[in-house]
Structure 1
Amino acid sequence: MENKTLIPKQIAFGVRLALSCDDAWLSAAKHLDMMNASRPITVRVDTTGLPPGPHFTSIKAYDVSCIEKGPVFRVPVTVLQPQPLRVAAPAPPCLQEKNVLFRPATIVRHFVIPPQEATWAVLKISSESKEKTGRFLIHTMQLLPKRSCRCHEMQKMINVTAETPTILPFQIVGGVTLEVVIAKYWANIGDVVVDYSVEFHGLKPDFGSRLVMGAADGVRAVRLRALRQQDVLPTATLKYQEPVLRPTESKLTPLTARDIIPPSRQIYQLINTYNFHIAKATEVSPIISLLSDMLYESEFESQMWMLYNSNKQLMMTGDAYPSKYTIKLEKGDYTLRLNIRHENKSLLEKLQDLPAIIQQRLQQPITLDVYCSPSLAITGGKKFTSGPLPSGHILPVYFTPVPADKISRSNLSIGQTLSGSVTFAKDELGRKVDTYGVSYVPCEPAKRSQPPRDKDKAKPHDDYMDAVKDFTTNWLAKLGMYYDV
């Protein structure tokens, strides 16, 4: 319960503070009178004179009645000053460094802002030391609001020799600060002098991170912009079918006394059961779209699914990030059990009808047709192969729906989608990393009436039955003559 004797002391609270900062590029008010309510502080940061790289300082608050006791609190301030890119047309914008000495455990960081139209970058690193091989860790990262740092992160170990430059492409987001870290492996003995550069390229579509198409939408137009002149070779391939399932059974129960948070916060678990059938042997990945892209930052305490076959044999378990969990299943019936825990029972009740996606690899990938004009797309004329896109121009390309004969009608159900990837760059490095998702929503298969059966093409059994019927009818007339006598 609230202690009422503290209320007068809280109301009478007041501290006079003196604010100071050691760096000239940050300025704030000199004094702050703290009371029992929140007080804003105005801070001005001037980064015009800062060299490229990270910078740190802090605002220190001292009690004017007793400076000797040190700062009452500190406000840390970190500024990442981006490094300007080298722009020399027609070459792409780049970050370039030469004759950089790397000793074991040496770490070099660069902060740059990629151009707005950039979608991928290429790191080139080379060495002239013929007798030494350098082993480096390359780490790049971009932070977007409300997104995990793993969404735009690349980390890879590479070897650098004097024979040929080592090339490493990676995907980026234009206009967002990019951190590039090059570190020499601590166990790689010896010093190495290297030259490296980071070039930025881009073919930016107008649909964001995923292209969504529907069979009823007709021709789908996509407009492309290029950072510099770039060769365009659009390719869209559907590789998976994604039937959506609803739970056949849902059970919400409280857990045991072991799962009670003191003093009395009860933890509940929700178990959803999904049944599905695999018509042909294929690779399967269960996806819970509401929870799959989050782990520690999820609002729910835990998520885990278990996959069983018809004999109740456990085939696989998994949780977040479904791309890590793929299993090949044979033809048959399977059961997926999803377990979610939370202390709020009402939140779990809302997930009792949570849909699940059973992503299945297609036996044969389906390629979408691409055209350079709406008229050619409608009439099925000459397909678009490749072409240049100058900087500052817009190139529209047109994707057509999948023909009905390419989709298996036996496995198609209402609400099912087809998914895959789409690329636009002709450059091999760009096609490798600058990929986007594509989702295609097919329509329900046509239900046509059967044509009338041709007598000439009747089955032999039908011919035999017709002949027996005619023979019996003829003999009935002959038998009637004997009965009349």
Structure 2
Amino acid sequence: MDCRAPWRGPIFRVPITIIKPIALSGEPPVLSLSKLYFKSGHIERRFINVPIGASWAEVTMRTSAFDTPRRFFLDTVQMCPLKRPIKWESVVTFSSPSIKNFSFPVEGGLTLELSIAQFWSSGNASHEPTCVDFEIVFHGIFIDQKVIALDGSESPMRIVARSLLASERLVPVATLNKIKIPYRPVDSNFCPLPTSRDRLPSGKQIIALTLTYKFKLEDGAEVKPHLPLLNNRIYDNKFESQFYRISDSNKCVYSSGDVYPSYVKLPKGEYTLQLYIRHENVQILEKLKQLVLFIERKLEKKDCIQLSFYSEPDGPIIGNAAFKSSVLVPGEPEAFYVGPPSREKLPKGAPPGSVLVGSITYGIVSSFNKKDEQHAPASYSILCIIPPSKVDDTKEKGVSVETKKSISERLNDEVRDTKIKFLSGLKQDNEDNKSAWTELVASLKSEYPKYTPLLAKILECVLQESTSDDKISHHKEVIVAADEVVDSIDKEQLAKLLSLKPDPEDEESQKTKRKMEETRDQLADALYQKGLALAEIESLKPDESTEASAKDVFEENYKELIKWVDAKSTKYGTLTVLRERRCGRCGTALKVLNDMIQEDSEQPKKKLYDLKIQLIEEIGWAHVSAYEKQWMHVRFPPSLPPF
């Protein structure tokens, strides 16, 4: 209203709609909406005061008086203070008059907006409206704690349940189906952003913090990064932006996201996650340099853990007093205990401090099919901290087995193993270190002749040596080292011992079996590396004439390898590819190589794709070679994209 001319009346009007939600009564509270008639695009909306103590709602929808299929949209919304709204929606199609049931979670004490709409194109072929009878019943089981946290000990967690609305069946079910592993950043970097774009009107400069995390997957899995401090908050977040990306060792980006991270399926391998945060205050960013990141991984169905419930606190230890179900009387509490998972069910390789995450439900849907009980949709979080691993008693068993040796023999073995370990840590980056390493190798060979683990370690060190100067000499060193490993092994005795099945209760025979398998792997690796070195020498000296006996060395070496391992496997398949290529069978070599690439569950290896392009070019498929070279830029990008 204009105060200088009040006689003119209001300048404008603002309509205000006051909605009074429907209050329910009864045990349990029920809302019935009868004879609602729908045509195409028609919407019915109701506001309901959800009773305190309700945690889920059961809906029965009955349709009648129509002759063509009808599609309906159901949508519910509850506005919650200081968190995102609770939403549920569903699309249902009625091909003929029938009854359908639904259930969805609710929050007691808050207003629920219920919307029912017939799809705009549904029922256009008929002028008959759809008659709908809609009934919604509220149920609830009140729990004294929303989040159940097991501390990793053998102690169970006490839970008290109540029903505030009506009698309910208490049937608790808890499942741990995810694991969260914490990581600290391995690197942090501050970078002031360009002045022209990222300077605030007050003159403050925006600074970016990039945190780098490293994690490794032993098997392929679906993972999701989780930052408890920053995720799921946008407008109430003090940091203006947060982005992340996950890449592998080939700089190939698998996933990227912001405050709402999502799952991504990753193969086996090592990965890098970079987190990008911006703020104008560098002191605040300094506090985030050691920000904890959780990598959340879904467990396979066979690895999910079902927790047990007990009526007594000593139930997990004694093994009795199992709690299955009960009937809750309104207002009367019911106490029970959820036990921790057994040690045998914990995921293998999970480090201590990791968190198993899952959900727990307490009720069942009462209005559905009685023969097939369905758990209530209202679920709560449950987590369990993985405790420290048990003390490994295999070392003690090993000591008991070795007690047959004298003290001097055991001391000599320890000294020998320490020398071998020290040898593997020496670098050969210059002539002096190379000379010292050679002298130490000669000394150890004379002190421990024909000792296969020592010779295998020497071969490993030779392979790690730089080959930039003289590649042919380096490959000859590899051949010499591999021959020493092969000559140190009694192949007939090894084959005899591997063919025998050890007694599972005899520790000595089990130890001998493991030792023989390790020796077989060392033999196969030596033959494999020797074959690669022979092939490299032939490729570096294609014009030099060699004797027929020298040409057969590669073939003899390959035939010896296939006696012990599958030469077409991912680990040794490269040698099979080189053999087929050497014999002029490029098509067979390409087939074996493609099988290796497809069967390999790890990240792509650039050397395999380079070899594939070489084989394609030798076959003469120029167009396929050009196509593969273009894909190399996608599989192995030169650098990571900017944020």
Instruction: Give the TM-score taking structure 2 as reference length.
Output: 0.57
Greater relative CO, 1 or 2 (CA 8 Å, sep 6+): 1
Secondary structure at the aligned position of 2:222 is classed as strand
Match of 1:385 in 2: 324
Give CA deviations for 1:27-46 in whole Å, capped at 9, x if unaligned.
Answer: xxxxxxxxxxxxxxxxxxxx
**Which of 71, 82, 86 is the matching residue for 1:146?**
82
**Which of 235, 246, 250 is the matching residue for 2:188?**
250
Secondary structure at the aligned position of 1:260 is classed as coil
User: Aligned equivalents of 2:510 and 2:138: distance in 1?
Assistant: 72
Q: How does 1:21-170 map to 2 (within 5 A)?
A: 62-68=1-7, 70-71=9-10, 78-87=17-26, 89=27, 92-149=28-85, 152-170=86-104
Give CA deviations for 1:110-167 in whole Å, capped at 9, x if unaligned.
Answer: 1111221110012222211240333222121111211122xx1112322235442222
Secondary structure at the aligned position of 2:68 is classed as coil
Q: How does 1:405-416 map to 2 (within 5 A)?
A: 405-408=344-347, 410-413=349-352, 415-416=353-354
Structure 1 195/66 Cα, relative in aligned 2: closer, same or farther at 3 Å?
same
Match of 2:497 in 1: none
Structure 1 457/235 Cα, relative in aligned 2: closer, same or farther at 3 Å?
closer
Secondary structure at the aligned position of 1:236 is classed as strand
Secondary structure at the aligned position of 1:347 is classed as helix
User: Aligned equivalents of 2:34 and 2:311: distance in 1?
Assistant: 43
The reply on whether 1:287 has 2:226 as its aligned counterpart is yes
Match of 1:398 in 2: 337
Native 8 Å contact 1:252 1:349 kept in 2: no
Native 8 Å contact 1:86 1:96 kept in 2: no
Give CA deviations for 1:405-447 in whole Å, capped at 9, x if unaligned.
Answer: 222453223x211111111123378625211111101211122
Native 8 Å contact 1:129 1:192 kept in 2: yes
Secondary structure at the aligned position of 1:348 is classed as helix
User: Aligned equivalents of 1:457 and 1:271: distance in 2?
Assistant: 52
Structure 1 429/266 Cα, relative in aligned 2: closer, same or farther at 3 Å?
farther
- The CA deviation at 1:386 is 2.2
Q: By percentage of residues, which structure has more helix?
A: 2
Secondary structure at the aligned position of 2:189 is classed as strand
Match of 1:212 in 2: 149
Structure 1 165/461 Cα, relative in aligned 2: closer, same or farther at 3 Å?
closer
Match of 1:358 in 2: 295
Give CA deviations for 1:303-351 in whole Å, capped at 9, x if unaligned.
Answer: 21100112211011122233xx212222211111111223343333332
Native 8 Å contact 1:129 1:161 kept in 2: no
- The CA deviation at 1:376 is 3.2
Q: Cα RMSD (Å) of the superposition?
A: 2.6
The reply on whether 1:235 has 2:173 as its aligned counterpart is yes
User: Aligned equivalents of 1:378 and 1:461: distance in 2?
Assistant: 34
User: Aligned equivalents of 2:341 and 2:89: distance in 1?
Assistant: 37
User: Aligned equivalents of 1:78 and 1:387: distance in 2?
Assistant: 45
Match of 1:326 in 2: 263
Query: After the TM superposition, which of the residue ranges 132-141 and 422-431 deviates more from structure 2?
Result: 422-431
The reply on whether 1:419 has 2:353 as its aligned counterpart is no
Structure 1 375/453 Cα, relative in aligned 2: closer, same or farther at 3 Å?
closer
Native 8 Å contact 1:135 1:157 kept in 2: yes
User: Aligned equivalents of 1:183 and 1:410: distance in 2?
Assistant: 51
Match of 2:519 in 1: none
Structure 1 461/404 Cα, relative in aligned 2: closer, same or farther at 3 Å?
closer
Native 8 Å contact 1:125 1:160 kept in 2: no
Secondary structure at the aligned position of 2:172 is classed as strand
**Which of 263, 267, 279 is the matching residue for 1:342?**
279
- The CA deviation at 1:401 is 1.8
Query: After the TM superposition, which of the residue ranges 127-136 and 391-400 deviates more from structure 2?
Result: 127-136
The reply on whether 1:186 has 2:120 as its aligned counterpart is yes
**Which of 276, 283, 287 is the matching residue for 2:215?**
276
Letter of the structure 1 residue corresponding to residue 380 of structure 2: Y
Letter of the structure 2 residue corresponding to residue 82 of structure 1: P
Secondary structure at the aligned position of 2:284 is classed as helix
Native 8 Å contact 1:120 1:430 kept in 2: no
User: Aligned equivalents of 2:198 and 2:360: distance in 1?
Assistant: 46
User: Aligned equivalents of 1:258 and 1:245: distance in 2?
Assistant: 33
- The CA deviation at 1:382 is 4.0
**Which of 371, 382, 386 is the matching residue for 1:442?**
386
Native 8 Å contact 1:127 1:193 kept in 2: yes
Native 8 Å contact 1:103 1:184 kept in 2: yes
Structure 1 347/65 Cα, relative in aligned 2: closer, same or farther at 3 Å?
same
Letter of the structure 2 residue corresponding to residue 315 of structure 1: Y
Give CA deviations for 1:230-270 in whole Å, capped at 9, x if unaligned.
Answer: 22221111111111111111112122223334574533222
User: Aligned equivalents of 1:83 and 1:405: distance in 2?
Assistant: 52
**Which of 297, 300, 307 is the matching residue for 2:246?**
307
Letter of the structure 1 residue corresponding to residue 33 of structure 2: E
Letter of the structure 2 residue corresponding to residue 444 of structure 1: P
- The CA deviation at 1:107 is 2.1
Letter of the structure 1 residue corresponding to residue 381 of structure 2: G
Native 8 Å contact 1:377 1:398 kept in 2: no
User: Aligned equivalents of 1:411 and 1:219: distance in 2?
Assistant: 21
Instruction: Give the TM-score taking structure 1 as reference length.
Output: 0.74
Native 8 Å contact 2:212 2:274 kept in 1: yes
User: Aligned equivalents of 1:93 and 1:374: distance in 2?
Assistant: 35
Structure 1: runs of 5+ lacking an equivalent? 1-61, 463-485
Structure 1 457/353 Cα, relative in aligned 2: closer, same or farther at 3 Å?
closer
**Number of equivalences:** 392
Letter of the structure 2 residue corresponding to residue 196 of structure 1: F
Native 8 Å contact 1:118 1:172 kept in 2: yes
User: Aligned equivalents of 1:279 and 1:293: distance in 2?
Assistant: 29
Match of 1:222 in 2: 159
Structure 1 75/300 Cα, relative in aligned 2: closer, same or farther at 3 Å?
farther
Give CA deviations for 1:384-418 in whole Å, capped at 9, x if unaligned.
Answer: 222322222211121112222222453223x2111
Letter of the structure 2 residue corresponding to residue 453 of structure 1: S
Structure 1 vs Structure 2: percent identity of aligned residues? Answer: 30
Secondary structure at the aligned position of 1:346 is classed as helix
Letter of the structure 2 residue corresponding to residue 174 of structure 1: G
User: Aligned equivalents of 1:155 and 1:345: distance in 2?
Assistant: 44
Native 8 Å contact 1:159 1:166 kept in 2: no
The reply on whether 1:453 has 2:414 as its aligned counterpart is no
Query: After the TM superposition, which of the residue ranges 117-126 and 382-391 deviates more from structure 2?
Result: 382-391
Match of 1:196 in 2: 134
Letter of the structure 1 residue corresponding to residue 158 of structure 2: A
